[in-house]
Amino acid sequence: YPNIERYKKKWKANEKERNDKKELVFNGALKTFDKKVTAYRKKLISLGEYLHELSIRTSGVATEVETFRSAWQLEQSLDWDRVQRERSLALDRLVRVLTKGESQELMAQGVAYRTGTLPHSQFYGNLRKLFSNKGVPLSDYPSLRDYLQYVLLSESIKPDQLFKEANALEKEAYDRLARSEKERELIVEARQSYLVGKLLDFSLTKEEWEEYKKVRGAQSVVRRRNIQYSNHALRTTDYGLPLSFESFYRHAEARDQAMAENLLAAIEKHDAKVTVLVAGGFHSKGIQHYLFDETSPLRTTDHGPRTQSEVRSPWSVVRGQPDNREAPYSVVSFIPKITKLDKATGSDYLSVFAQEKTPLEKLFKGETLFLPPPRWTAVLLARFHLLAQAVIVNLNPKPIFIRL
């Protein structure tokens, strides 16, 4: 894409003209809200501030947004030095009343947590129960109590649902604040331009790409069904962009079908009972469509399901949602921990597609969200036995949302 900077420059010029137009067309309340949304998109305000703005502007019920806001508000109120002091006092008190078996169990859980085999929520939930069962009331340690609640809330958030709710609230807020047809037209135009900007950065999420396809012009590549994927056409769309930008995503969709075909072929060839497919999160829904949807062309391929009765919903478990209908496969969609991006700014291919572009989960999952564990010193070993140290290391607190 040798001309990408030229297209970005043109897009930025169009954005400036559109922002100038907003100053003339938008009413005061709409203008204030739009500037907040723009600030969030430019990373000038945090996710928490953005969601707070959405909540006060709308009346809709958004469970994940409210859970995030509760955790975010707890974060703002926590005294981190006090949390650390109370943590040491509470754990010192706890280990004095544990039996040998309880000590060994807690030590095993601490090791499992450190190695990543035990999630935050389970470790901290078990620890909170242990405090209660052994007569160590967390009410004596209010900062530590709030911290444990904060961690459990953050772990419970479903990032994909969070951003889906946020998008719905943002649309509702714009609809409520717009008073004229000109304002509504400019809101739609600005949204389309925002998607084009992300297209130029190759940073559209799967959901944004689907939205983008619905608003493109008739001459756009995404409006055409029969595409030669090797042909990066030089014609332009109604935004003056080369079709190769859109073809990038169409190629990604083509890979969905190819991966599904290869997976089914491998299952049949090896008579596999359990199969693991590693693919970027952008591809997960597309692959599932080609594997199991009744409209999928793979239904009639050599490697597809053999009868219509086998083409029912495949999900015995998908993101915790049960489906009791019979199916030829059971699918578990698993999103691994991603705790840092290699690039300081911008979007690179793997970070964009690896987790369906949900920055929140990149930040609040993973041990890097907590302060580095203290070094094992002779003084520490003399003061606490191995169990106490293992637990204290794992409870070293650090804000989860502060970097958003």
- Domain residues of the chain, as ranges? 1-203+366-404
Q: d(Cα 71, Cα 94) in Å, to the nearest integer?
A: 26
Tokens of 277: 């497919």
Q: What is the mean pLDDT of residues 24-29?
A: 97
Give the residue-averaged pLDDT of 217-235: 40
Q: How many CB atoms lie within 10 A of CB 75?
A: 20
Please, which pLDDT band fits residue 39 given cuts at 50, 70 and 90?
very high
230, pLDDT greater than 80: no
**Band of residue 202 on the pLDDT scale cut at 50, 70, 90:** confident
Q: Which residue has the higher pLDDT, 373 or 247?
A: 247
SS3 317: strand
pLDDT of residue 242: 56
The answer to whether residues 169 and 90 touch, using CB atoms and an 8 Å cutoff, is no
Average pLDDT over residues 169-188: 96
The predicted structure's pLDDT at residue 334? 64
| 349 or 71: which leads in pLDDT | 71
Beta pairing class for 321-322 and 317-318: antiparallel
Residue 225 pLDDT exceeds 70: no
Nearest alpha carbon to residue 194 among 178, 168, 180, 215: 215
Closest-CA residue to 13 (of 288, 200, 217): 200
pLDDT of amino acid 306: 33
Output the pTM of the full model: 0.69
CB under 8 Å, gap of 24 or more: what pairs does 85-90 form?
86/141, 86/142, 86/143, 86/144, 87/141, 87/144, 87/147, 87/392, 87/395, 87/396, 87/397, 88/392, 89/141, 90/131, 90/136, 90/138, 90/140, 90/141, 90/144
Mean residue pLDDT of the chain comes to: 73
Per-residue pLDDT band for 353 (boundaries 50, 70, 90) equals very low
Tell me the C-alpha distance between 151 and 280, whole Å. Answer: 27
For residues 295-313, give the mean pLDDT: 41
Give percent of the chain with pLDDT exceeding 70: 65
Residue with token string 């829904």 = 285
β-strand partners of 322: 317
Q: Is pLDDT larger for residue 242 or for residue 6?
A: 6
Point out the least confidently predicted range of 83-92, 160-169, 214-223.
214-223
Q: Which runs of E-coded beta strand occur in 22-166? A: none
**Where does the pLDDT of residue 295 fall: very low under 50, low under 70, confident under 90, or very high at 90 and above?**
low
pLDDT for 30: 97
Report the C-alpha gap between 373 and 142 in whole angstroms.
23
User: At residue 256, does pLDDT exceed 60?
Assistant: yes
247 band by pLDDT with thresholds 50, 70 and 90: confident
Query: How many Å apart are CA 201 and CA 166, to the nearest integer?
Result: 22
The reported pLDDT for the residue numbered 252 is 85
pLDDT at 207: 86
pLDDT value of position 21: 96
Residue 157's pLDDT is: 84
Residue % of the chain over a pLDDT of 90: 27
Q: What are phi and psi of 62, to 5 degrees?
A: -135, 100
Judge contact between 363 and 63, C-beta under 8 A: no
pLDDT-based confidence at 95, cuts 50/70/90?
confident
Kindly tell me the burial class for residue 33, based on how many C-beta atoms sit within 10 Å of its own C-beta (0-12, 13-18, 19 or more): buried
Higher pLDDT, 240 or 186: 186
